[in-house]
Amino acid sequence: MPQRPRTARSDGRLTYAAMLSPAIVLLSIFVFVPVALVLYGSLFRFGLTSAEWTFVGLSNYVRAMGDGVFWIALRNNIIIVVGSIVLQVGFGTLLAAVLDRGITVGNTVLRTIIFAPMVISSVAVGLIWLIILDPNVGPLVSLVKAMGLTPPRLGFLGDPSISIWVVLGIASWQYTGFMMVLILAGLQAVPKELYQAAALDGATGLRAFWHITLPAIRNILIVAVLITTVGGFKVFDLIFVTTGGGPANATQVLSTWIYFQAFNLGNTGYADAISVILLAIAVLLGWAQLKSSRRA
Amino acid sequence: MNTRRLNATTLVLYGFVGLMSLIVLLPVIYMIMAAFKTRTSMFVSPLALPESLSFETFERAWGVGVGGFMVNSLLVTFLSVVVIVIVSGMAAYALSQMRGWVGQAIYLMIVAGFAIPVQAVLVPVFQIMSGAGLLNSRLALVLPYAAYGIPFTVILFYAFFLDFPKELEEAARLDGCSRFQAFVRVILPLSGPAIASAAIFQSVFIWNEFILALLVLTRRGLKTLPVGILDLQGEFTSDWPAVLAGLTLATLPLLILFVLAQKYFVRSLAGLGK
């Protein structure tokens, strides 16, 4: 073994520090400093480009508590989260189970088709559905009429009582395949002997799914639920493109409300306060995700 | 096993998966089909097939600059992914070699970055970009895209490097390589699968990223596809066939790429569950 120079240890530290620094610099500028700025800014009243900052204490947070649209937005985020868990994780699990053990011919083709919307941008997805659901030219309205039913008078996205559910449907159209693939990867890791042993005990089909499959993929289901939950709180593109938060703020979510407050109405400090609330939710969920993956 | 048993259960299962595939396929088919229709037939008979196969709507949509948006998206995605892979690779390698609490603390800090959504820091990110005079520049996308791609990629690479046989790196060091040289000449060339997986994963997200692009790009010449195609709607008020033609032009290339390489896409994106 060659003689190591005396400085080898400190030289190693220097190399590693140099290799780490670009990542730390980028993360600091675009992630950590913004977090500090959003916390700081939430205590002030200021405009996006104005140099005049007025300290207002916690009044931006008080304002949020009294802002009806803030609560609508939070409620809509929760609708999207819970609805997505039911639709995307639910149907994703069923589809994955069928593709894993239920059918044997055409699996790859079917999987490819159902997963495909994941690679389309949500802006394109939103625009396609905007046209499909259009009250004048949309094929869905004609289809509903042809079936002898009455479509909503203001269109599917224009009716405030159903619009958020329609958005949920579009989001699920895009992401159910992603959940299916995620869960399928977990299913394929389940040892086949488990099913054989269960079959000897008389558990096949649905009973095998309930007693063998679901417990075996418990951890991946938790991850799927957490990813969906985080995604549901981050949703922006689809709503911005399809409804812009309307009609009459019926489909606002936290991210769109932050955007409008900051960039359309100039209530930048207030937007920062809502951002802090969204941030707290995200960090809490991230922590849950970390804990669940440690256990896995 | 039971491939030849076509019983009622199998039929129901095929019916279920087939119906789901149809629900996914129909909007995409509609997009392509209706792009060939005329404005009049869109209004008069929304369900009818197009009367002729004219590419005139596609020419009009292309005229808005779909080609340019595509080039911008390619450039931004490529540059961001290159930065992400290099920066995360170096960081993850250093972390995998470091012993003690400093490395642990830095790793935890980077993982914490994974939890922070860009939606919650829109205002400060905009302020930083605007303060640095970077609005309407490609750098204003590449740098934050790189930053937000780092945490997940570091986690991925870190796990990969930990499994790496230590003997390889030691052998390289004995041959006179410095730590950095060992990383570049020995570790990186053997990390193909991890790099490919990270690159595909980040490409899909960056190619489709919307909210930052919406904030920092207002000049049409720089717009990426997601913000660019939004212009189609404004450009062609109620000219839906042209909008759909533009959407077809914008989405079909990636869809075709996905179908050709679906195995790699699926493997890479399913990695999020690990």
State the pLDDT at residue B53. Answer: 81
Q: Cα(A81)–Cα(A100) distance, rounded to whole angstroms?
A: 26
Which pLDDT does position B28 carry in this prediction?
95
What are phi and psi for residue A45, nearest 5 degrees? -110, 125
Instruction: Report the C-alpha gap between B246 and B225 in whole angstroms.
Output: 10
Out of A30, A94, A113, name the one closest to residue B25 (CB).
Answer: A113
Q: What pLDDT score does B1 carry?
A: 46
> Which residue positions in chain A have pLDDT lower than 50?
1, 4, 6, 296
CATH class of the domain defined by A59-119+175-295: mainly alpha
- Nearest by CB: B211 against A184, A236, A290: A236
Return the biggest CA–CA distance within chain B. 78
- pLDDT for the residue B118: 94
Beta bridge partners of A44: A55
Q: How high is the ipTM of this complex?
A: 0.90
Q: What is the distance between the alpha carbons of residues B88 and B174, in angstroms, rounded to a whole number? A: 26
- Of the partner residues B106, B232, B273, the one whose CB lies closest to the CB of residue A20: B106
**What's the gap in Å between the CA of B138 and the closest CA on chain A?**
15
Radius of gyration of chain A (CA): 25
Contact B204 A237 (CB under 8 A): no
Kindly determine whether residue A114 and residue B30, on different chains, have CB atoms separated by under 8 Å: no
**Could you read off the pLDDT of A105-152 as tens digits, one per residue?**
889 999 999 999 999 999 999 999 999 999 888 889 888 888 888 888
Q: What pLDDT is recorded for position A6?
A: 45
Angle among Cα A140, A141, A143 to the nearest 5 degrees reads 60
How far, in Å, CA of B200 to CA of A118, rounded? 13
What residues of chain A lie within 8 A of the CB of B117, using their CB?
A: 230, 233-234, 278-279, 282
Q: Give the integer Cα–Cα distance in Å for A279 and A270.
A: 14
The pLDDT assigned to A214 comes to 87
Q: If we measure between CA atoms, which residue out of B226, B187, B216, B208 comes closest to residue B265?
A: B208
pLDDT for position B273: 63
Q: Do B120 and A134 touch (CB under 8 A)?
A: no
CB contact under 8 A, B87 and A176: no
Show the tokens assigned to B209: 């990223």
CATH number of B65-235: 1.10.3720.10
Question: Tell me, what amino acid is at B60?
Answer: R
Cα–Cα dist A234/A178, whole Å: 17
Residue with the two structure tokens 């066939």: B241
State which residues of chain B have pLDDT below 50.
Answer: 1-3
Quickly count: other Cβ atoms within 10 Å of residue A226's Cβ. Answer: 19
Instruction: Enter the tokens of residue B171.
Output: 């052998």
pTM for the structure as a whole: 0.91
Residues 6+ apart with CB under 8 A from B4: none
B111 touches chain A (CB under 8 A): yes
Check CB contact of B68 with chain A, cutoff 8 Å: no
Interface contact flag, B148 A236, Cβ < 8 Å: no
